[in-house]
């Protein structure tokens, strides 16, 4: 159980900062408080995951950072500036890949850049580079239906990165994939995101994925989501292990037990 809970390292400048953020949804059926006074910082180049019971507000928190939702109170900032709406600085990758079946892989990868009105020649060059990095270089002129689920998610990652966001939000990006593909793609995605120097906020139900892929795991309480605890995933031996290597480390099981206890899971019925 040693070294599971670490002292926080000296504060890095915040790429993303949530200050006392609360979010209430109003519907004809009534009011739902999804998040309650969240304070969270994501440093430049840092990978942080959010875990918590279903309905505790994880996706809501990502939508606030993406500028899709505005907080009921408190403030969300990216690079010190309040988020006023969706911004190219923040990229969002979801569980579903939302590829257009009638566009080639390359044309799908440039779609976000095209919508943002960026230089299409540069966007295509960057898309080709990223698709190669994601192992999709041989499929530029294929169509989505010709690809497996894991390959489609690689294209979705390339599309997210073509627009050069500083922050990448990942909302259960691998949950539709089989378990072997999940393990393989986690390694590749982390490798690409780290070499690109991105800051990453990952939502997952998979504790192992959170431990293996991110530097810090934030546990949210049941609704309304509050920050229950934060845990630094510090592995001994210098270089941070890849996600697959991390799973074979002795620390992995210690982290897993601690986070499992924190989640306080009860199976109803
Ligand atoms: N558009 C909406 N209108 C009203 N209530 C909503 C809306 N979106 C989410 N909620 C409610 O807010 C709470 C938080 O939802 P959210 O999807 O953020 O949770 P989550 O932790 O991501 O859940 P899950 O793990 O099941 O994906 C839930 O009770 C949900 O029903």
Q: Is the distance from CB of 51 to CB of 219 less than 8 angstroms? A: yes
135 dihedral zone (left: phi>0; alpha: psi -120 to 50; beta):
left
Q: Convert the pLDDT of each residue in 96-106 to its tens digit.
A: 888 999 999 99
DSSP designation for 79: T
For the chain, domain boundaries: 11-86+196-263
Confidence of residue 226 (pLDDT cuts 50, 70, 90): very high
Confidence of residue 7 (pLDDT cuts 50, 70, 90): very low
User: Residue of the nearest CA to atom 6 in ligand 1?
Assistant: 25
Kindly list the distances between the CA atom of residue 144 and the CA atoms of 24, 125, 159, in Å, as whole numbers in the listed order: 38, 20, 13
CA-based radius of gyration for the chain: 19
Spacing, Cα 70 to ligand 1 middle (Å): 15
In this predicted structure, the answer to whether residue 2 has a pLDDT above a threshold of 50 is no
Confirm whether the ipTM is greater than 0.95: yes
Confidence of residue 48 (pLDDT cuts 50, 70, 90): very high
DSSP designation for 142: S
Mapped onto helix, strand or coil, the DSSP state of residue 65 is helix
Q: What are the strands, taking DSSP E only, across 103-235?
A: 167-171, 199-203, 216-220, 227-232
CATH code 3.40.50.300 for 11-86+196-263: yes
Q: How far apart are CA 18 and CA 65, in angstroms?
A: 8
Mapped onto helix, strand or coil, the DSSP state of residue 236 is coil
User: Residue of the nearest CA to atom 24 in ligand 1?
Assistant: 54
Residue 46 makes CB contacts below 8 A (sequence gap 6+) with 12, 15, 199, 200, 215, 216
Kindly list the distances between the CA atom of residue 87 and the CA atoms of 91, 163, 246, in Å, as whole numbers in the listed order: 8, 10, 33
User: Residue of the nearest CA to atom 27 in ligand 1?
Assistant: 54
Spacing, Cα 24 to ligand 1 middle (Å): 10
Q: Is the distance from CB of 73 to CB of 15 less than 8 angstroms? A: no
Q: How far apart are CA 206 and CA 213, in angstroms?
A: 11
Q: What is the pTM of this model?
A: 0.91
User: Residue of the nearest CA to atom 14 in ligand 1?
Assistant: 57
Q: Convert the pLDDT of each residue in 234-258 to its tens digit.
A: 998 778 899 999 999 999 999 999 9
What's residue 3's pLDDT?
40
User: Is the CB of residue 34 below 6 angstroms from any atom belonging to ligand 1?
Assistant: yes
Q: Is the distance from CB of 243 to CB of 183 less than 8 angstroms? A: yes
What's residue 133's pLDDT?
87
Q: What's the token pair of residue 199?
A: 């800051």
What is the atom index within ligand 1 of the atom nearest the CA of 52?
21
Q: How many residues does the chain have?
A: 269
């Amino acid at each position: 159980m040693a070294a599971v809970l670490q002292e926080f390292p000296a504060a890095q400048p915040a790429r993303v900062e949530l200050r006392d953020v609360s979010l209430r949804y109003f519907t004809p059926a009534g009011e739902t408080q999804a998040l309650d006074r969240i304070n969270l910082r994501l440093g430049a180049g840092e990978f942080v995951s959010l875990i918590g019971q279903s309905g505790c507000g994880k996706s809501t928190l990502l939508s606030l950072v993406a500028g899709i939702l505005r907080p009921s109170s408190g403030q969300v900032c990216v690079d010190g500036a309040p988020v006023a709406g969706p911004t190219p600085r923040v990229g969002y990758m979801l569980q579903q890949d939302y590829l257009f079946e009638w566009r080639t892989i390359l044309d799908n990868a440039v779609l976000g850049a095209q919508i943002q009105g960026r230089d299409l020649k540069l966007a295509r060059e960057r898309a080709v580079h990223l698709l190669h990095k994601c192992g999709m270089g041989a499929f530029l002129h294929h169509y989505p239906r010709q690809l497996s689920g894991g390959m489609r998610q690689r294209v979705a990652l390339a599309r997210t990165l073509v627009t050069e966001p500083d922050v990448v939000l990942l909302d259960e990006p691998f949950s539709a994939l089989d378990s072997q593909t999940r393990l393989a793609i986690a390694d590749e995605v982390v490798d690409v995101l780290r070499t690109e120097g991105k800051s990453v906020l990952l939502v997952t139900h998979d504790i192992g994925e959170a431990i293996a892929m991110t530097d810090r795991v934030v546990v949210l309480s049941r609704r309304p989501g509050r920050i229950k605890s934060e845990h630094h995933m510090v592995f001994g031996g210098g270089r941070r292990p890849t996600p697959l290597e991390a799973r074979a480390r002795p620390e992995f099981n210690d982290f897993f037990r601690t986070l499992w206890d924190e989640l306080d899971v009860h199976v109803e019925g």
